[in-house]
C-alpha cells in the first residue's frame, strides 16, 4: 500500500546565477496538511510551482502518486489541485461561470459537472453567491473560489500557496478551517511565511530558508524543539537590576521600561515559578508575566546553526 502521494528528490532550481531551491528532499503522506514555512524569498513558491508543473526544475525529480512529473506531466497534473499565491480568477465571470470553465479545463465529464459544481460550492461555503461576479466578492470569498477551483476535480494532492495571505482575522479562521477539512480527505501542502498559521493548520512542517530545508518533522516535535527564551515581567515595585540578575536560571536581564524587564533564562518552568515566589516574598507587586517567543528569523537561525535536520 502506497504511503505517500508525493515524493521530491534532490530538487534544485536556479534563476540566472542564484539558487532558489538547492537540493531539497521530502515526502507528502496520503492524508493531512503539511506546512511549508519560510520567509519571503525562501523558495516556497518556486518549490510549489515546480511540484505543480508550472516551472521546470533545474535538477531533481518529483513523483506524484508514483508518476514522474517530468516524464509524464499530463498524467501527474490530473491528480493535482493548485492555488498559486495570486489566485487565477476571472474577475468578470460569476462564480458558476468560472467554476464550470475550470471543470472543463480539468476534464470533468460534462454530465458530471453540475454535481461537481454543487458539491464544491457547498464545501467552500459559496453556494449563496453562485451568480455573483467574482470582482464583487470580498477577499475571503475570492480565496474560497480559488480553493474551489483547486479541488473541483477531487485531486489527490492539493497545493495551496499563501492561501491566507492578506485576509482579515475572521477570514483567516474560515479559510484555515476549510483547509483542515480538505486535509481530512486528501493530501494538502500549505505554504506560509507566518508561523502561527502553519502551527494552527498543519500536522507536519517543513521549514525552508535560502532554498534549503532546515527542519522537517511533525508539529509536535517542532513545538517541543522551539522554545521561548525570554520572560517579560512587569512590576509596580521592581527590585534593583542586580537582584534580578542573581535569580537562579537567569542569564541576562534587560530593562525595557521603568517597570518592565526582559529576562533570558535556562529553564522556563523553574524560572517562572521561582520568579512568582520571589516577587511575592519581595513585595515587587508583579502585574504581568509572559513568555516572549522567538521570531521566525531567530528560529531559522537556531535550526540552521544547530544542524538539526529531520527527514521522514
pLDDT of residue 268: 60
Question: What region, left, alpha or beta, does residue 52 occupy, with left being phi > 0 and alpha being psi -120 to 50 degrees?
Answer: alpha
Half-sphere exposure of 270 (CA within 13 A, CB side): 9
Report the alpha-carbon distance of residue 52 to residue 30 in Å, rounded.
17
4-225 placed in CATH 3.40.50.300: yes
For the chain (312 residues), the mean pLDDT of every run of 10, in chain order, is 83 92 94 91 94 95 96 95 94 98 96 97 95 95 95 96 86 90 94 86 91 90 70 90 85 87 74 82 89 66 56 44
Whole-Å CA distances, 3 to 27, 60, 66, 232, 312: 9, 21, 11, 45, 12
pLDDT of residue 311: 43
pLDDT of residue 298: 67
pLDDT of residue 308: 46
Alpha carbon distance, N-terminus to C-terminus of the chain? 17
- Please list the residues that pair with 263 across neighbouring strands: 231, 253
Whole-Å CA distances, 205 to 80, 132, 164, 180, 247: 20, 37, 17, 14, 36
CATH annotation of 230-293: 3.30.70
pLDDT of residue 294: 62
**Helix/strand/coil for 140:** helix
What are the phi and psi torsion angles at 228 (to 5°)?
Answer: -65, 150
State the helix-helix crossing angle for 139-151 and 95-105, rounded to 10 degrees. 30
Residues 286, 292, 297: CA angle, nearest 5 degrees: 165
pLDDT of residue 196: 79
Q: How many helices (H) and strands (E) does the chain have?
A: 11, 14
pLDDT of residue 204: 93
pLDDT of residue 1: 39
**Fold match between domain 4-225 and domain 230-293:** no
Domain residue ranges in the chain? 4-225, 230-293
> Residues 236, 259: contact at Cβ < 8 Å?
yes
- Within 10 angstroms of residue 214's Cβ, the number of other Cβ atoms is 23
Strands 32-37 and 187-192: parallel
Amino acid at each position: 500500500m502506497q504511503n505517500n502521494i508525493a515524493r521530491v528528490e534532490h530538487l534544485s532550481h536556479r534563476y540566472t546565477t542564484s539558487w532558489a531551491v538547492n537540493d531539497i528532499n521530502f515526502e507528502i503522506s496520503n492524508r493531512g496538511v503539511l506546512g511549508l514555512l519560510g520567509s519571503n524569498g525562501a523558495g516556497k513558491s518556486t518549490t510549489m510551482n515546480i511540484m505543480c508543473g508550472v516551472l521546470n526544475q533545474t535538477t531533481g525529480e518529483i513523483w506524484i502518486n508514483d508518476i514522474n512529473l517530468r516524464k509524464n506531466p499530463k498524467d501527474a497534473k490530473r491528480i493535482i489541485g493548485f492555488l498559486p499565491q495570486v489566485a487565477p480568477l476571472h474577475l468578470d465571470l460569476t462564480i458558476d461561470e468560472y467554476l464550470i470553465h475550470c471543470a472543463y479545463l480539468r476534464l470533468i465529464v460534462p454530465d458530471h459537472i453540475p454535481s461537481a459544481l454543487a458539491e464544491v460550492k457547498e464545501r467552500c461555503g459559496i453556494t449563496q453567491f453562485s451568480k455573483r461576479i467574482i470582482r464583487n466578492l470580498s477577499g475571503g470569498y475570492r480565496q474560497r473560489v480559488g480553493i474551489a477551483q483547486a479541488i473541483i476535480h477531487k485531486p489527490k494532492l492539493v497545493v495551496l500557496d499563501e492561501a491566507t495571505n492578506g485576509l482579515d482575522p475572521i477570514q483567516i479562521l474560515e479559510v484555515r478551517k476549510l483547509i483542515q477539512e480538505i486535509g481530512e480527505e486528501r493530501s494538502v501542502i500549505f505554504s506560509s511565511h507566518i508561523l502561527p498559521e502553519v502551527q494552527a493548520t498543519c500536522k507536519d512542517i517543513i521549514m525552508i530558508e535560502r532554498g534549503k530545508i532546515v527542519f522537517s518533522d511533525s508539529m509536535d516535535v517542532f513545538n517541543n524543539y522551539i522554545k521561548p527564551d525570554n520572560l517579560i515581567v512587569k512590576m509596580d515595585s521592581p527590585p534593583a537590576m542586580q537582584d534580578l540578575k542573581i535569580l537562579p536560571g537567569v542569564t541576562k536581564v534587560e530593562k525595557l521600561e521603568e517597570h518592565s524587564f526582559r529576562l533570558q533564562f535556562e529553564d522556563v518552568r523553574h524560572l517562572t515559578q521561582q520568579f512568582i515566589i520571589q516577587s511575592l516574598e519581595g513585595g515587587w507587586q508583579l502585574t504581568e508575566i509572559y513568555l516572549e517567543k522567538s521570531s521566525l528569523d531567530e528560529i531559522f537561525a537556531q535550526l540552521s546553526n544547530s544542524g538539526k535536520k529531520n527527514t521522514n
